[in-house]
Chain A
Amino acid sequence: MKLELRNITKRFGTLVANDDISLTLKPGEIHSLLGENGAGKSTLMNVLYGLLQPDEGEILIDEKPVKFYGPGDAMAAGIGMVHQHFMLIPVFTVAENVVLGHEPTGKIGNLDLNAARKLVKEISDRFGFDIDPDAKVQDLPVGAQQRVEIIKSLARNAKALVLDEPTAVLTPQETDELMDIMRGLAKSGTSIIFITHKLREVQQVADRITVIRQGKVVASPSPKASASELASLMVGREVDLDVKRKPVKIGAETLVVKELTVLDDRQHQMVDGVTFSVHDGEVLAIAGVQGNGQTELAEAILGLRKIHSGSIEVAGQDVTKSSVREVLEAGLGYIPEDRKKDGLVGEFSIAENLMLDGSFGAPFAKGVQVDFAKRDEIAEKLIQEFDIRTPSAQTLAKQLSGGNQQKVVVARELGRELKVLVASQPTRGVDVGSIEFIHEQIISARDAGKALLIISTELDEVLALADRIAVMYRGRIVGIVDSKTTREKLGKMMAGIAA
C-alpha cells in the first residue's frame, strides 16, 4: 500500500498547525517523522487517523483520494496507530485485547476466543513477537505490551503503522528489539511512520526522514546525517548538545540516603534498601527504565511518600519523618517528573506558580496577605533570568508550551536558596532549545557548589549531566559507576545485570 498525504493544511483559528505538508509512505518503508513538541507532528497524525479534518489537501491510498471521518475509517483503510500511552485493558488477556471491538463470533453470536487466540499466535509467530495469547496484559513487561499494541493493528490488517514515540518507555535492549521488529515488519511489506525525538534511533532504522518545524516540512535529510545536523534542522539553528562544565571541588555530603525502603499505594516494595549520597558540587544521576522505583524514591525524599525503613538526611538534618514543608525548608528543591500533576497549577498565572511553595512567609507574603508587588517583581526577574517565553507574568501556566512550563518549575526551584536539588525527568516533553537551557541551569547550579540528584530515564540526558551514575532496577541500585561508563554497560545494568 502506498500512502500519500498531499498538501495538508490544518488551521486552528489563526494558527497554522500544518502548512502545506506533503508526505509519501512507500510500501515496506520506515519513514521517520522528526520534529519538536508543537511542530505539528501530532496534528498531522490526527489528520491521517481521521481525528481531525484537513482544511486543505488530501490523503491518497494507492493514488486514490480517501476521506477519513474517524479512526474507524482509517483502520478500515489499513492504517494502524500505536499510541504513546497504550490503549489496553490490563485485566484482559492478550487475545481479548487484540480482538476488542471486532470480536470473532461463533454460530450463535458467542465470543470465539479460540479464533482470537489463533490470530494472536499466528501474528506473533510470523514476526517473532514471542507473545502468549493467554497472558494477562497487566502481567506483561512494557515492551511486550507495546508488541500487543502492534499485534492489535496487524490483526486489523494494517498496512501502514504509525508508531508515536514508541521508545519512550523502553529499556535500551527493548528498544533494540523494537528496532528489529520494525525492520522485520518493513521487510514483510508493512510501512511504518516512526515518530520520535531521539536522533540515534532515527539514524538506526529510518529509510527516509522528514523534518517538520513550525507546521512546515523543512527538510528531508539522508538517514546518514549526523545527530547534530538533524538537531539543527529540527530546531532551526546550530545546536550544541554538549554541556560545558567547570571542574569543581567536591564538597560535603549534603543528601544522604541510607537503606531506604519505600512501599507504593498497593503496599508493593518499590524502593528496596537503597543507599547513596550526593556531595556538594556533584551531579548524581539515577538511570533506569521507568517504573523501577525512581518515582517512589523521589517522592520519599520530598516527604510525599511515607518511608517504611531507612533514613534521609538533607544538609545534616534528619528529614526521615519530616513533612514536605519541613523538607523544603531544610533546603531541598524539587522538580517533579510530571509537571502538570505535581509541579504547576495550570489555572494559576506564572507569577502565582512561581510562589507556589512560598506562601508561608517572606518574600512572597506579608503576614497573611500576599505581597502582590513583590510577587510580580520576583516573577519578572525570574522570567528574564530563566528565559520564560510568555506575553506576561499574568499569563496562565496552562497556556505555555511544555518547555516554558518546565522553565517555570525550574525557575521556582533554582530561584530560591537551596542546598540540594532533586529533579525527576527534568526535560521530559520539552523542546530542544529548552533542554539545552535547562541542562545549562542544572550544570551551573552544580558549578555553584550545589548537590544535585537527577533522575532520568533518558540515557542521553544521564550521560550529558552526570558526574556519577547510579542505575536502578526493581527498586535496588544495581551499581554506582562513573560518567565514562559505556552505553552498552549501562544498558545491561538497566536490565538488572550487575556491573
Chain B
Amino acid sequence: MSKKELKLAELEPESKEVSVLKEIMSGDPVRIALSVLLGFFIGAIFMVVFNPDVVKSWSNFGADPNYALSTVWWTIQDGYGALFSGSIYNLNADNFINGIRPLTETLRFAGPLIMAGLAVSLTFRVGLFNIGATGQMMVGLAGATFVSTRLHMPQVIHMLVAVLAAILCSMVWGIIVGILKARTGAHEVIVTIMLNYVATDLFTYFLREPGLLLEANGGGTPKSDHPDGTAMMGALLGPSFKLNYGLIFAAIAVFVYWWLMERSTFGFRFRMVGHNASAARAAGIKVENTFVWALAISAAFAGLAAATQGLSMDGGLTTSIEAGIGFDAITVALLGGSRAGGVVMAGLLFGAFKAGSSSMQVAGVSPEVLGVVKALIVLFIAAPPIIRALYRLPKPEPKVFAAIQQAKAAKVIK
C-alpha cells in the first residue's frame, strides 16, 4: 500500500477495518468479475506448471520452442475444455440428451449452493458475518432425516413435511445465534463456528443411536436408512436426468429472497440495520430483534438447502451429505455480492465446478485446480486492494470521492 493511502485512511473517522469489511461484503460487480478472471488465470498457471508433459517439453525448450509453447496451450485447453464439457455441453456426445446432461448436472449442484448462498447473503446485508450455514444445514438434515425415514406419509406430502421439518430445525439453530448475539453481545462469527461443531456432532450422534436415526441393522457407521420414496425429491426432467425438484425450490427461494430484501419493509429494515445500525435505532427499529429475525429467516434458507440436498441422494444419509455446501455458501454470497441475481450466477459457477470436476479428472487434469481457483477468487474478493492494484482501478478515496460526488450533484442543479 502506498504512503498516500495510509494517510487518507487516517483522515477518515471510520476505522479501516470496518470500511474494508464493508467493501468486501458490498460486492462491486466489476471487481468480482475481475477476481473470477484472475482466479481462472492463476488456476491455468497451476495446471501448466504441474503438468509433467509441459515440464518435459520446457526442459528441451531450446531444441523445440514451438512444442514447448503448444504444450502449455494444450494443457490449458484440455483442462478448461473438460470443465466446459463436464458442466455445460458435452460436444462429444452422440445425441442431444447426453450432450445437455452436464448442464442439468450443473443446475442440480447449483440448487443447494444457491439456497445456502442466499442464507449467508441475507445476514451479510444485515451486517452480520454469519458463517453458520454448515451447522444450520446439519440440523436441518437431521430433521429431514427423521421425517423421511421414521415417519410414513403419502407422496408429495411426505416430502413437503420433511422440507418443513428441515426448515424449522435450521431456524431454531439460527435463532440461538440471534438470541446469543442480541442478549449477550456474543460475536456471531465465534458463535456460529462453535455451533457448526455442535451441530455436526449432534447429527452424528443421532445417526449412531439405534432408537434415533441409525439405519435398521446398522453397526458402527453413523448412517440412516434410505429415506422413504415418498419423501424424495422426484426427477424434474424424467428418469434420464438426475435433476430433481430441488431446482424448483431454489427458484422459489431466489424469488422470495429478492422480494424480501428489495420490496418488503422487512428487507428495508434489514438493510437499514446493515448499513447503519445506529441510524436504524434512532428511527425506532429494535436492532437486536432485527438480528434475531434475520438469523432465523437466513437459517430457513439453509434448511431448505439441506432438505433438497438430503432428499435427492441415493442411499442412507450421513453427515457427508452436506458436502461442504454450508462453507461454499459464504463464497457464493461474497461472489454474488449478496444480491439475488448475483447469488444465482455464483451458485451456477460453483455448481459447474462440482459438475465438471470429474470430467477434468478423466482428462488428466487434477480437479483440485478448481479448489485453487475457488480459493483464489475469494482471496481476491477479500482483498480489494490487490485487484485494484493489478487492474489499476481507482481507489474509492473516501473524503475526496465524496467531495467529487457532492460537487457533481451541486452542478447538476446550478
Contacts and interface: CB of A to CB of B under 8 A. Distances in A.
A interacts with B: yes
Interface of A: 12-13, 15, 17, 38, 43, 51, 69-71, 85, 302, 304, 323-325, 327-329, 334, 336, 341-348, 352, 355-357, 359-360, 364-365, 368-370, 372, 389-391, 395, 398-401, 404
Given A345-B272, A359-B269, 12 more contacts: A13-B404, A302-B282, A324-B281, A325-B285, A329-B284, A334-B282, A342-B279, A345-B280, A357-B283, A364-B265, A389-B409, A399-B408
B10 to A, nearest CB: 9
Nearest to A355: B268
B7 A71 contact: yes
Contacts of B413: 389-391
Contacts of B263: 369-370, 372
Contacts of B283: 324, 328, 356-357
Interface string B258-282: 0000011110110110011011111
A357 B412 contact: no
Contacts of B271: 348
A389 B268 contact: no
A369 B414 CA distance: 36
Interface residues of B, number: 38
B132 to A, nearest CB: 25
A341 B276 CA distance: 7
Contact of B403 (A15, A69, A323, A395): A15
Interface in B382-414: 400, 402-410, 412-414
Contacts of B286: 323, 325
A336 B264 CA distance: 27
A43 to B, nearest CB: 8
7 contacts: A13-B404, A38-B406, A70-B7, A342-B278, A389-B413, A401-B410, A404-B409
B183 interface: no
A352 B409 contact: no
B406 A401 contact: yes
A112 to B, nearest CB: 28
A229 to B, nearest CB: 24
Contacts of A17: 403, 407
Interface in B1-19: 3-4, 7-8, 11, 13
Contacts of A12: 400, 403-404
Contact of A348 (B264, B275, B285): B275
Nearest to A412: B283
Interface string B284-318: 11100000000000000000000000000000000
Contacts of B400: 12
Nearest to A16: B407
B265 A360 contact: yes
Nearest to B399: A42
A317 to B, nearest CB: 16
Given A390-B409, A390-B413, A368 B265 contact: yes
Most chain A beta-carbon neighbours within 10 Å: one of B271, B279, B409 = B279
Contacts of A70: 3, 7
Nearest to A348: B275
Contacts of B410: 389, 401
Contacts, number: 117
Nearest to B262: A370
A72 to B, nearest CB: 10
Given A370-B264, A391-B409, A345 B279 contact: yes
B266 A368 contact: yes
Interface in B73-92: none
A347 B285 CA distance: 18
Nearest to A38: B406
B407 A15 contact: yes
B284 A325 contact: yes
A404 B406 CA distance: 10
Contact of A51 (B7, B275, B285, B404): B7
Contacts of B265: 359-360, 364-365, 368-370
Contacts of A357: 282-284
A356 B403 contact: no
Nearest to B411: A15
A398 B406 CA distance: 8
A341 B278 contact: yes
Given A15-B404, A15-B407, A401-B406, A343 B275 contact: no
B355 to A, nearest CB: 36
A304 B409 contact: no
A71 B4 CA distance: 10
Nearest to B413: A389
A370 B268 contact: yes
B144 to A, nearest CB: 29
A409 to B, nearest CB: 10
A395 B410 CA distance: 12
Contact of A346 (B276, B281, B284, B409): B276
Contacts of A391: 409, 412-413
Most chain A beta-carbon neighbours within 10 Å: one of B283, B404, B406 = B283
A356 B279 contact: yes
Contacts of B279: 341-345, 356
Nearest to B267: A370
B11 to A, nearest CB: 8
Contacts of A370: 263-265, 268
6 closest Cβ pairs, A-B complex: A325-B284, A357-B283, A399-B405, A391-B412, A342-B282, A324-B284
Contacts of B404: 12-13, 15
Contacts of A327: 284
A231 B193 CA distance: 59
A328 B409 CA distance: 32
Nearest to A390: B409
Interface in B340-357: none
Contacts of B281: 304, 324, 342
Contacts of A302: 282
A395 B409 contact: yes
A42 to B, nearest CB: 8
Contact of B408 (A15, A69, A352, A398): A15
Contact of B409 (A324, A343, A401): A401
A336 B409 contact: no
B275 A38 contact: no
A340 B164 CA distance: 42
B7 A346 contact: no
Contacts of A13: 404
A390 B286 CA distance: 31
Given A344-B276, A357-B283, A369 B264 contact: yes
